[in-house]
Structure formats: structure tokens, C-alpha cells
Amino acid sequence: MVVNLALLVTAACGSSGPPAPAPPAPVQNGQVTVDGVVRTYRVFVPPALDRSRPAPLVLFLHGGGNSVEDTVRTTGFDRQAADGGFIVAYPEGTRREWNAGTCCGSAPSRKVDDVGFLTQLLDRLEADYPVDRARVFAAGVSNGAMMAYRLACERADRIGAVASVAGAVVTGDCQPARPVSVLEVHGTEDPLVPYTGGQPSAPEAQGGPPYTSTAAMARRWAEVDGCPSPAPAKVAAPVTTDTWAGCRNGSTVTLVTVAGGGHVWFAPGLGPANGALDASATIGRFLADLRPSG
């Protein structure tokens, strides 16, 4: 109060002192160069964030064929960042694709080093922003979710959790260096990344290696994380939630199954199944509940 009053008095006297610096813009764009290629990203820092204290960071990876701006608009995830008090960075894939492993697009055949890009981006973000390095997470949808899983498989030293919508592990054997918490949200009628595994029903997505079923993938993460048996499933039709808690290093694995759900970013207003939950809010709650990784 005293400081504010003194500033008001000084201003009233017409002081010619230097003006107070403008607050940082909440949205900033940047770039890093990897293997001679300029890669771009967008960062949102909540205006109310206390920059004197470390904050969680989320790398949010867009789906195949989508852009950063598409993702920002569709998911409204900046609002989750503001509500949850975390920084969110949206990297851009090359040709709107990610080299997540065996899927998808031309990024795997072009051998794009997206793990290298995202690791270098983390270095930049941790240097430029007040990032809590014990609470760095990766989230994404579809091809972006697959990339988030690959990053966790190969750089668990940097990533404490993955939040995936319509994702899958497509890197082959995944042996993270430490436990990684996982949230998978998946519809049972997904035509591109089939919930039951095998080949997609969508003609444009056929021809690649078959997918592991979503339930088997969740069980595998629970095994990797050293989880005990899951708690009884919670059912609020059409949504079923299976949770493995009490895993090593405080990690947790959660599978949210949406009966009748498709290959979408789940949100209210999209119908009985696709609108049965808010994927952005679900991810926000999951990340907020995580303990710092060890």
C-alpha cells in the first residue's frame, strides 16, 4: 500500500522518471534451429503467473495435418494453463507431422529428429521461463499424442507425464528411464487409432503396422511404472475410467474410455459420446493432481 501511494504521489507531481516496464506479453513466438531446419513454437504464460516461482510446463503437440493455431483454437488449452497456473508451449511439426515412430505421414521416412527438436526446445524454455523441471509434461492428440509417448519413452529424464487423446505408442519397445504418469483418453469407435487394436477401419489410415489395443497399452504402462492392481473402474456412461495408483515414484496411469467416441478432441456440444467429457479440463485436472516427479 505504501509503495502504491508513493507512486501515485510521484505521478501527480509530474515526475520525469522512467516509466514502469510493460508486463510481458502472455503469448510469445520463438524458433530453434535443428539440423539446419528452423522450427517454430508458441508459448502461453498466464498473465497472473508469479514469475518469481517455478511453474509446471506442458508441451502440447498438435495432431497430424493440424497446426499450432488450429490446436489453440480447438482445445482452448490456454484457459487450462491460466486456471492451473502452468506454462504451455505449442511446437510446430514439419509439414504438420511428427516422427512418432511407425506413424504417421512422411516424417518417419524423412527421419525428422523430433525428439532432438523437443529436447532442444525444452532447453530453451527452461532457460527463458521459470520452469519447474520436476513438473514438465507432454500432451497431445492423435499423431501429437504418439509423439508425446515417444518423447516419454526416450527422454523420461525430462518428461514426468503424458496426457494423450486418441494416441498410441508406435515406437516399438518402450523402456523409459524412470516411471512416467500416463493419461489416455480414447473412443471405442475411433476409425484411425482403433481402440481394440489392429488395422484402422478408415481406408486412408490402413497399410501400416497394426496397433496394440488401447487397454493393453495402458496395462503395459502400468507394468512399466510398477503399479499395483487397478482400482475398481468408475463408470458414468458413456465414460469408464480405469486408474492404477500407487505406482513407483508416485506415478499413476489412467485410461478414460468413451463408449461410441470417435477420433476427436472430446468437448461439450459434440454429441452424446464425443461431447461426454471435456478433454482439456480432464487433462488439466490430471496434471494438476500429479506430484513432482522424482
Q: Under a CB-based contact definition with an 8 Å cutoff, are residues 153 and 174 in contact?
A: yes
Using DSSP's 3-state secondary structure scheme, residue 27 falls into strand
CATH 3.40.605.10 fits 23-288, yes or no: no
**Pairing of the two strands 239-244 and 161-165:** unpaired
Cell 510446430, residue located: 92
Over residues 182-237, the pLDDT tens digits come to 999 999 999 999 999 999 998 888 878 899 999 999 999 999 999 999 999 999 99
Predicted confidence at residue 13, as pLDDT, reads 36
CA distance 239 to 216: 18
Cβ partners under 8 Å of residue 144, min gap 6: 60, 61, 62, 63, 64, 66, 71, 93, 98, 167
> How far, CA to CA in Å, does 144 sit from each of 101, 150, 164, 209, 244?
11, 10, 8, 18, 24
Verify cis geometry, omega within 30 degrees of 0, for the bond prior to 104.
yes
Enter the DSSP assignment of 175: -
The x, y and z cell numbers of residue 248, run together, are 513407483
- Bridge partners (DSSP) of residue 30 are 41
Sign of the torsion formed by the C-alpha atoms of 255, 44, 61 and 128: negative
Predicted confidence at residue 292, as pLDDT, reads 62
The x, y and z cell numbers of residue 264, run together, are 476427436
Concatenated DSSP letters for 189-200? T-SSS-TT-BS-
Q: Which residues of the chain have pLDDT under 50?
A: 1-16
Mean residue pLDDT across the chain: 91
Q: Which of 108, 90, 100 is nearest to 145 (CA)?
A: 100
Q: Under a CB-based contact definition with an 8 Å cutoff, are residues 174 and 149 in contact?
A: yes
CA distance 206 to 99: 18
Angle ∠(69,262,283) on CA atoms, nearest 5: 55
CA distance 85 to 11: 33
